[in-house]
């Protein structure tokens, strides 16, 4: 009696275990690339409203091609990169991922992104060369399709500039003079702030000045963070902070929102997506802002950097790379898709033809006072300087936050901070085993 | 956990009714406890020992990159020996973080436990009014999640949006920046004290309620004042709960993460590696270096173990000495 009970227990336990194994076996069935019948893809993205854009695909071209895409909403930024890499380690990364341009080398160097150059056709023609080059990492491969870009611009309070008798600066020297003049006229007011929290902003400013933070020579990486261009940018902003001409507190805080909303900060060096941020940070000042090109380092120059922007990549774990690439191309080049992306997700498209059509024929609501907002934006986007990302941007960005945070607090040592970022970045590369050129 | 059958078999010694089962019973009783232990052991191994073991294993390894590191097969995981550990110890950032947390702990633990003890004693005194309400009011901040509490206080600290600064400004008084330099430690400690005092008070208060009333009666008959009762009777009687709350507080302090992480975006003074756990988080999820992160996590776990068990042993030894006296 007792023994039969025991045996029954054992056998049922065995059954449960076996059942679990069969279930697991079901879950991991993959047909490596060859397509037969309907295909279902998962897509990790943080863009709001992406599910609605994907619905357009699932009900239109996707239905015809029998490719169904499911959106899994993610957190943005570095945490998603870590999540993708972890999933990839287990061989379970989704078919499609959204990735910021500066994260692409990290993902590629972990072999998480597939080369889709065979599957993207002539999509390259849709994008500016500088944008496309970020997805190839300077090789013959293509690791992603560009989605949105963030060309940088100068935003200012039109009414307050008039009130204080300031003119819109066209060079950085004029920018510094404007900051000093404003301080003289209204000591309580700052032109803007230097934010040590926003590595991407500083990277964009350095890019405009001609910095190339990462480059390759042969089989070795070269880190150029402490080169002349970046030093110049750090010296410039450090000088303004030191003399008290601008504020030194971080952006994206309640205090910063209040300063923008009450006119205690009257300008912002930002990117094309600024209207969205301003409408939540400074809702009371709608219609009082204007946008101009970024100040230049020398007269007559016409260059800008980028802050933000992302792409759609296909992972090496995907069993249906061709289908996934097809969707990525549609999402980022099809007129209807880009219109929906602009409407639902509020992105500024990387595709040049989309920058002046559909949603971008009228200015953003917050900037209704500037009817040619998007025409200007498209012109500025054309002047984007080439960017150069490497395999440990995340490390450099962290080092930036800490080194420049300390420098901004002390109001000195900005050039030393640049050197600290360079040192940390090189040390990390060497620790990982990369060959680093001196 | 003696089963009734076993109790009978041994307790009743040579009782005749125990005999027939003697040949069979021992075998049953020997395997049964193990059988009942299986679920706990399996869970312990699967969800505790295995992950910890894996983390320790990871901490002895690292990633090697060859060439430019692009494309398939460019990264391999290799044995690193103690490299991650020496890096963590000699890098300075982890130790700097540990020192900062030490400073923070020197403020938090005494202030929080002192307040908790005073509140508990006050609530336990006979003349207190509205006791249940006060108890709840002091305990309530504990129910506020740490991140929310830090956000809340962050808004109150930020000069431009703080109502305190507004009031100070109105009266023409100096307005200290609490998110900078030394005051930052006070600002962070304040959040922890605000959130943790209530919980510790409840622990001490519960211990106080368990003291039999006769003790107080005897003290009163001997002419002890309420203050003397508090100092000479109540505090020694709740010493074990004080040890317990101290123990919990030290562990919580070593693990401080929420408050500085939440305040970080608001100020230039909190770095991404302000506390040791923040460094672990940054390495694992910001820089994608799980091997260094695993080594540092192991070091922090070891330090916590040594500190907390060292303290418990010291406390036990004192108790024994006192008992012997």
Q: What is the 3-state secondary structure (H, E, C) of chain A?
A: CHHHHHHHHHHHHHHHHHHHHHHHHHHCCCCCCCCCCCEEEEEEECCCCHHHHHHHHHHCHHHHHCEEEEEEECCCCHHHHHHHHHHHHCCCCCCEEEEEHHHHHHHHHCCCECCCCCCCCCHHHHECHHHHHHHHCCCCCCCEEEEEEEEEEEEEEHHHHHHCCCCCCCEHHHHHHHHHHHHHHCCCCECCECCCCCHHHHHHHHHHCCCCCEEEECCEEEECCCCHHHHHHHHHHHHHHHCCCCECCCCCCHHHHHHHHCCCECEEEEECCHHHHHHHHCHHHCCCEEEEECCECCCCCCCECEEEEEEEEEECCCCCHHHHHHHHHHHHHCHHHHHHHHHHHCCCECEHHHHHCHHHHCCCHHHCCCCCHHHHHHHHHHCECCCCCCCCHHHHHHHHHHHHHHHHHHCCCHHHHHHHHHHHHHHHHHHHCCCEEC
Give the mean pLDDT of B102-120: 95
Does the pLDDT at position A236 exceed 90?
A: yes
> Do residue B172 and residue B312 come from a single domain?
yes
> Do residue A210 and residue A180 come from a single domain?
yes
Q: Which residue of B lies nearest to A215 if distances are taken between CA atoms?
A: B68
> Do residue B168 and residue B308 come from a single domain?
yes
Q: Is residue B6 part of a domain?
A: yes
CA-closest candidate to residue B318, choices B248, B239, B235, B245 = B239
Does the pLDDT at position B201 exceed 90?
A: yes
Best probe of the B interface among A110, A112, A436, by most B CBs < 10 A, is A110
Residue B169 CA to residue B177 CA, distance in Å, equals 13
- Of the pLDDT bands very low, low, confident and very high (cuts 50, 70, 90), residue B2 is very low
CA-closest candidate to residue A337, choices A322, A353, A319, A323 = A353
> Do residue A165 and residue A245 come from a single domain?
yes
Q: Which domain holds residue B269?
A: 91-324
Q: What are phi and psi of A433, to 5 degrees?
A: 100, 5
Interface of B with A (CB under 8 A): 63-75, 87, 155, 158-161, 180, 265-269, 271-273, 282, 284-288
> Do residue A128 and residue A259 come from a single domain?
no
Q: Assign residue A181 a region: left if phi > 0, alpha if psi is -120 to 50, beta otherwise?
A: alpha
Best probe of the A interface among B70, B78, B262, B279, by most A CBs < 10 A, is B70
Which pLDDT value is given to residue B159? 84
Contact between B265 and A428 using a beta-carbon 8 Å cutoff: no
Does the pLDDT at position A29 exceed 70?
A: no
Residue A211 CA to residue A203 CA, distance in Å, equals 9
Does the pLDDT at position A284 exceed 90?
A: yes
Q: Is residue A406 part of a domain?
A: yes
Which pLDDT value is given to residue A28? 38
- For all residues of chain A together, what is the average pLDDT? 89
Does the pLDDT at position B14 exceed 70?
A: no
> Do residue A240 and residue A125 come from a single domain?
no
CATH at B257 = 1.10.3720.10
How many helices (H) and strands (E) chain B has is answered by 16, 2
At B134, is the secondary structure helix, strand, or coil? helix
CATH at A327 = 3.40.190.10
Q: Which domain holds residue A97?
A: 39-150+307-365
Q: Of A387 and A404, which is predicted with more confidence? A: A404
Q: What are phi and psi of A150, to 5 degrees?
A: -130, 65
Which pLDDT value is given to residue A58? 95
> Do residue A330 and residue A271 come from a single domain?
no
Which candidate from B63, B158, B268 shows the least CB-CB separation from A408?
B268
Q: Is residue A67 part of a domain?
A: yes
> Do residue A258 and residue A339 come from a single domain?
no
> Do residue B107 and residue B237 come from a single domain?
yes
pLDDT per residue as tens digits for the range A287-327: 999 999 999 999 999 999 999 999 999 999 999 999 999 99
Q: Is residue A15 part of a domain?
A: no
> Do residue B288 and residue B215 come from a single domain?
yes
Q: Is residue A299 part of a domain?
A: yes
C-alpha A167 chain-centroid distance: 31
CA-closest candidate to residue A40, choices A21, A54, A22 = A54
Residue B254 CA to residue B102 CA, distance in Å, equals 8
Contacts of B66 in chain A (CB under 8 A): 433
- For all residues of chain B together, what is the average pLDDT? 86
Q: What are phi and psi of B190, to 5 degrees?
A: -55, -40
> Do residue B95 and residue B6 come from a single domain?
no
Q: Is residue B82 part of a domain?
A: no
Q: Is residue A8 part of a domain?
A: no
Q: Of B65 and B189, which is predicted with more confidence? A: B189
> Do residue A197 and residue A251 come from a single domain?
yes
Contacts of A197 in chain B (CB under 8 A): 265
Q: Is residue B281 part of a domain?
A: yes
> Do residue A228 and residue A271 come from a single domain?
yes
Which pLDDT value is given to residue B28? 55
Residue A4 C-alpha, separation from nearest chain B C-alpha, in angstroms = 15
Contacts of A255 in chain B (CB under 8 A): 158-161, 266
Q: Is residue A26 part of a domain?
A: no
> Do residue A214 and residue A262 come from a single domain?
yes
Q: How far apart are the two ends of chain B, measured CA to CA in Å?
A: 34
Q: Is the dihedral of CA A56, A62, A63, A64 positive or negative?
A: positive
Which pLDDT value is given to residue A36? 60
User: For chain A, what's the residue count?
Assistant: 438
Check CB contact of A78 with chain B, cutoff 8 Å. Answer: yes
Q: What is the DSSP letter of B211?
A: S
Strands B61-65 and A436-437 come out as: unpaired
* Window A:248-267, CB contacts with B under 8 Å: 248-250, 252-255, 258-259
> Do residue B103 and residue B224 come from a single domain?
yes
Give the mean pLDDT of A399-406: 94
Contacts of B75 in chain A (CB under 8 A): 109-111
- Of the pLDDT bands very low, low, confident and very high (cuts 50, 70, 90), residue A13 is very low
Give the mean pLDDT of A132-142: 89
Which pLDDT value is given to residue A427? 92
Q: Is residue B304 part of a domain?
A: yes
Which pLDDT value is given to residue A203? 96
Note whether A313 and A143 are within 8 A (CB): yes
Q: For residues B2, B3, B4 and B9, what is the CA-based torsion angle, rounded to 10 degrees?
A: -80
- Of the pLDDT bands very low, low, confident and very high (cuts 50, 70, 90), residue B325 is low
Give the mean pLDDT of A411-424: 95
> Do residue B1 and residue B109 come from a single domain?
no
> Do residue B106 and residue B193 come from a single domain?
yes
Contact between B269 and A409 using a beta-carbon 8 Å cutoff: yes
Contact between B265 and A253 using a beta-carbon 8 Å cutoff: yes
Residue A409 CA to residue A401 CA, distance in Å, equals 12
pLDDT per residue as tens digits for the range B136-168: 999 999 999 989 999 999 999 988 888 888 888
Contacts of B284 in chain A (CB under 8 A): 82
Residue B66 C-alpha, separation from nearest chain A C-alpha, in angstroms = 6
Contact between A109 and B161 using a beta-carbon 8 Å cutoff: no
Note whether A93 and A112 are within 8 A (CB): yes
Give the mean pLDDT of B194-206: 94
How would you class A260 by CB atoms within 10 Å of its CB: exposed for 0-12, middle for 13-18, buried for 19 or more? buried
Domains of chain A: total: 2
Residue B304 C-alpha, separation from nearest chain A C-alpha, in angstroms = 27
Does the pLDDT at position A103 exceed 90?
A: yes
Give the mean pLDDT of A194-203: 94
Which candidate from A111, A219, A252 shows the least CB-CB separation from B71?
A111
Contacts of A248 in chain B (CB under 8 A): 268
Note whether A193 and A248 are within 8 A (CB): yes
> Do residue A269 and residue A352 come from a single domain?
no
Contacts of A434 in chain B (CB under 8 A): 65, 68-69
Residue B100 CA to residue B121 CA, distance in Å, equals 32
Strands A144-157 and A306-314 come out as: antiparallel
Contact between B160 and A406 using a beta-carbon 8 Å cutoff: no
> Do residue B168 and residue B310 come from a single domain?
yes
> Do residue A320 and residue A341 come from a single domain?
yes
* Window A:288-347, CB contacts with B under 8 Å: 316
Contact between B67 and A435 using a beta-carbon 8 Å cutoff: yes
Contact between A254 and B282 using a beta-carbon 8 Å cutoff: no
Give the mean pLDDT of A148-172: 96
Look up the pTM and report it.
Answer: 0.84
Contacts of B271 in chain A (CB under 8 A): 401-402, 405-406
Q: Is residue B80 part of a domain?
A: no
Contacts of B287 in chain A (CB under 8 A): 392, 394-395, 398, 428
- Of the pLDDT bands very low, low, confident and very high (cuts 50, 70, 90), residue B322 is confident
Domains of chain B: total: 2
Contacts of A408 in chain B (CB under 8 A): 268
Q: Is residue B45 part of a domain?
A: yes
Residue A259 CA to residue A330 CA, distance in Å, equals 42
At B310, is the secondary structure helix, strand, or coil? helix
Which pLDDT value is given to residue A376? 94
Q: What is the ipTM of this complex?
A: 0.78
Q: What is the DSSP letter of B61?
A: E
Q: What is the DSSP letter of B162?
A: -
Contact between B288 and A394 using a beta-carbon 8 Å cutoff: yes
- Of the pLDDT bands very low, low, confident and very high (cuts 50, 70, 90), residue B27 is low
Residue A174 C-alpha, separation from nearest chain B C-alpha, in angstroms = 27
User: For chain B, what's the residue count?
Assistant: 325
Does the pLDDT at position A4 exceed 50?
A: no
At B15, is the secondary structure helix, strand, or coil? coil
Q: What is the DSSP letter of B78?
A: E
pLDDT per residue as tens digits for the range B242-262: 999 998 999 999 999 999 999
Q: What are phi and psi of A138, to 5 degrees?
A: 75, 15
Note whether A183 and A245 are within 8 A (CB): yes
Give the mean pLDDT of A88-114: 93
Q: What is the DSSP letter of B286?
A: I
> Do residue A282 and residue A394 come from a single domain?
yes
Last residue of a domain, one of A319, A343, A365: A365
pLDDT-above-70 percentage for chain A: 92
Which pLDDT value is given to residue A345? 87
Which candidate from A82, A258, A398 shows the least CB-CB separation from B160?
A258
Check CB contact of A226 with chain B, cutoff 8 Å. Answer: no
Does the pLDDT at position B10 exceed 60?
A: no
Q: Is residue B183 part of a domain?
A: yes
Check CB contact of A17 with chain B, cutoff 8 Å. Answer: no
Which pLDDT value is given to residue A344? 87
Q: At what angle do helices B131-143 and B181-209 cross, to 10 degrees?
A: 130
Check CB contact of A417 with chain B, cutoff 8 Å. Answer: no
Which pLDDT value is given to residue A21? 38
Last residue of a domain, one of A319, A345, A365: A365
> Do residue B41 and residue B108 come from a single domain?
no
Q: Is residue B84 part of a domain?
A: no
Give the mean pLDDT of A42-58: 94
> Do residue B42 and residue B103 come from a single domain?
no
Q: Rg (Cα) of chain B, in Å, rounded?
A: 27
Stated as kind and residue range, the H or E segment containing B62 is strand B61-65
Residue B117 CA to residue B320 CA, distance in Å, equals 23
Contacts of B180 in chain A (CB under 8 A): 409
Does the pLDDT at position A371 exceed 90?
A: yes
> Do residue B122 and residue B253 come from a single domain?
yes
Contacts of B267 in chain A (CB under 8 A): 249-250
């Amino acid at each position: 009696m007792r023994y039969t009970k025991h045996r029954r227990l054992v056998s049922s336990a065995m059954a449960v275990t076996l059942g679990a194994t069969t279930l697991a076996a079901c879950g991991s069935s993959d047909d490596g690339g060859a397509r037969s019948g309907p295909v279902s893809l998962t897509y990790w993205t943080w863009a709001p409203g992406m599910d609605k854009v994907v619905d357009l695909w699932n009900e239109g071209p996707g239905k015809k091609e029998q490719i169904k895409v499911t959106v899994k909403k993610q957190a943005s930024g570095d945490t998603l990169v870590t999540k993708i890499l972890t999933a990839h380690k287990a061989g379970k990364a989704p078919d499609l991922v959204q990735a910021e341009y500066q994260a692409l080398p990290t993902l590629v160097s972990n072999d998480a992104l597939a080369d889709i150059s065979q599957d993207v056709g002539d999509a390259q023609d849709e994008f500016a060369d500088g944008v496309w080059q970020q997805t190839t990492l300077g090789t013959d491969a293509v690791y992603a399709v560009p989605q949105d870009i963030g060309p940088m611009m100068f935003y200012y309070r039109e009414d307050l500039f008039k009130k204080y008798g300031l003119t819109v600066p066209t060079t950085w020297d004029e920018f510094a003079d404007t900051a000093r003049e404003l301080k003289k006229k209204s000591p309580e007011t700052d032109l803007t702030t230097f934010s040590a929290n926003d590595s991407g902003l500083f990277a964009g400013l350095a890019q405009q000045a001609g910095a190339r933070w990462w480059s390759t020579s042969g089989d070795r990486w070269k880190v150029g963070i402490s080169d002349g261009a970046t030093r110049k940018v750090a010296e410039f902003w450090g000088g303004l902070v030191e003399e008290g001409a601008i504020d030194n507190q971080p952006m994206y805080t309640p205090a910063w929102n209040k300063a923008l909303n009450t006119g205690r900060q009257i300008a912002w060096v930002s990117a094309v997506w600024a209207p969205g941020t301003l409408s939540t940070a400074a809702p009371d000042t709608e219609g009082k802002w204007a946008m101009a090109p970024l100040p230049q380092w020398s007269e007559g120059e016409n260059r800008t950097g980028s802050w933000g922007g992302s792409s759609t990549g296909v992972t090496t774990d995907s069993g249906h790379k061709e289908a996934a690439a097809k969707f990525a191309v549609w999402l980022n080049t099809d007129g209807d898709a880009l219109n929906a992306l602009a409407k639902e997700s509020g992105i500024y498209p990387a595709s040049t033809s989309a920058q002046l059509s559909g949603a971008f024929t009228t200015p953003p609501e917050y900037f209704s006072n500037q009817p040619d907002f998007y025409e200007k934006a498209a012109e500025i986007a054309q002047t984007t300087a080439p960017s150069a990302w490497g395999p440990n941007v995340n490390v450099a960005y962290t080092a930036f936050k800490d080194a420049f945070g300390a420098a901004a607090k002390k109001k000195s040592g900005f050039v030393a901070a640049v050197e600290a970022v360079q040192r940390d970045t090189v040390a990390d590369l060497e620790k990982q085993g990369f060959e680093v050129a001196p | 956990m003696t089963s009734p059958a076993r109790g009978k078999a041994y307790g009743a010694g040579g009782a005749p009714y125990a005999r027939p089962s003697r040949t069979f019973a021992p075998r049953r009783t020997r395997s049964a406890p193990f059988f009942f232990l299986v679920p706990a052991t399996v869970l312990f191994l699967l969800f505790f020992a295995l992950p910890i073991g894996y983390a320790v294993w990871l901490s002895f390894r690292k990633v090697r990159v060859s060439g430019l590191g692009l494309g398939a097969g460019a990264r391999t995981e290799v044995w690193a020996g103690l490299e991650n550990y020496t890096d963590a110890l000699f890098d300075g950032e982890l130790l700097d973080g540990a020192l900062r947390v030490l400073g923070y702990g020197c403020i938090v633990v005494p202030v929080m436990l002192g307040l908790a003890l005073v509140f508990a004693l006050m609530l336990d005194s006979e003349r207190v009014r509205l006791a249940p309400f006060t108890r709840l009011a002091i305990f309530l901040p504990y129910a506020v999640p740490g991140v929310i509490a830090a956000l809340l206080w962050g808004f109150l600290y930020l000069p431009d949006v703080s109502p305190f600064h507004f009031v100070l400004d109105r009266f023409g008084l100096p307005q200290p920046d609490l998110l900078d330099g030394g005051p930052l430690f006070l600002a962070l400690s304040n959040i922890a004290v605000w959130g943790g005092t209530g919980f510790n008070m409840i622990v001490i208060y519960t211990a106080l309620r368990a003291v039999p009333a006769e003790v107080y009666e005897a003290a009163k008959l001997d002419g002890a004042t309420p203050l003397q009762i508090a100092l000479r009777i109540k505090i020694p009687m709740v010493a074990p709960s004080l040890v317990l709350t101290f123990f919990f507080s030290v562990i919580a302090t070593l693990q401080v993460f929420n408050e500085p992480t939440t305040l970080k975006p608001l100020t230039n003074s909190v770095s991404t590696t302000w506390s040791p756990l923040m460094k672990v988080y940054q390495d694992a999820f910001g820089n994608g270096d799980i091997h260094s992160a695993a080594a540092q996590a192991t070091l922090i776990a070891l330090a916590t173990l040594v500190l907390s068990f060292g303290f418990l042993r010291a406390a036990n030894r004192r108790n024994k000495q006192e008992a012997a006296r």
